[in-house]
Structure 1
Amino acid sequence: MVSGDVTTSLSVRKVADRARVSVGSLRYHFPTQQSLRDEVMKRVYSTILSDDPIHDDSVPARDRLVACLRQVLAPIGVGAQARAEWRKVFDAFMPSETSEHVDDAHAAAVREGRRRVECWLAVLSEEGTLPGGDNQHRARFLGTVLNGLAVERALPADDSLLEAETAALYAAVDCVMSTRFA
Structure 2
Amino acid sequence: MHTRERILQAAAEMLAEDVTTTLSVRAVAARAGVSTGSLRFHFPTQRALQDEVLTRIYRHFIPDEPIHDVSRPARDRLVDCLRQVLAAAGVGDEARAAWAAAYENFIAPEPSAKIRTAYLAQERVAAQRVEYWLGVLANEGALPREDFGRKVHFLLTVLNGLSVQRALPSDESVLQAETETLYLAVDAVLGTGTP
TM (normalized to structure 1)?
0.70
Change (3 A) 1:176 1:53: same
Contact 2:92 2:166 in 1 (8 A): yes
Question: Which of 81, 86, 94 is equivalent to 1:73?
Answer: 86
**Superposition map of 1:134-145 within 5 A:** 134-145=147-158
* Identity, % of aligned positions: 50
The gaps in structure 2 that reach 5 residues or longer are 1-12, 22-53
Tell me, yes or no, if the aligned pair for 2:139 and 2:145 is still in contact at 8 Å. Answer: no
**Which has the larger displacement, 143-152 or 75-84?**
75-84
- Counterpart for residue 18 of structure 2: 36
Give 1:34-113 correspondences, 5 Å limit.
Answer: 36-38=18-20, 50=62, 51-113=64-126
Q: What is the RMSD of the two structures over their aligned residues, measured on CA atoms? A: 2.5
CA distance in structure 1 between the partners assigned to 2:190 and 2:19 by the alignment: 32
Moved more, 91-100 or 53-62: 91-100
Q: Is the 8 A contact 2:19 2:125 kept in 1?
A: no
Question: For 1:165 and 1:89, how far apart are their aligned partners in 2?
Answer: 21
For 2:158 and 2:185, locate their aligned partners in 1 and report how far apart those are by CA, in whole Å.
Answer: 7
TM-score by length of 2: 0.66
Displacement after TM superposition at 1:80 (Å): 1.5
1:28-56, CA deviations, whole angstroms, 9 ceiling, x for partnerless residues?
x65xxxx82426xx8xx96xx83521111
Task: For structure 1, list consecutive stretches of 5 or more residues without a partner in the other structure.
Answer: 1-28
Aligned pairs for 1:157-168 within 5 A:
157-168=170-181
Query: SS where residue 71 of structure 2 aligns?
Result: coil
Deviation of residue 179 (structure 1)? 7.0
Q: 1:179 to 1:53 in 2, by over 3 A?
A: closer
Which aligned segments of 4 or more residues in structure 1 are displaced greater than 2 angstroms?
95-99, 131-134
Structure 2 SS opposite 1:38: coil
State the alpha-carbon separation in 1 of the partners of residues 70 and 142 from structure 2: 11
Distance 1:95 1:168 in 2: 29
Structure with the greater relative contact order (CA < 8 A, sep ≥ 6): 1 or 2?
1
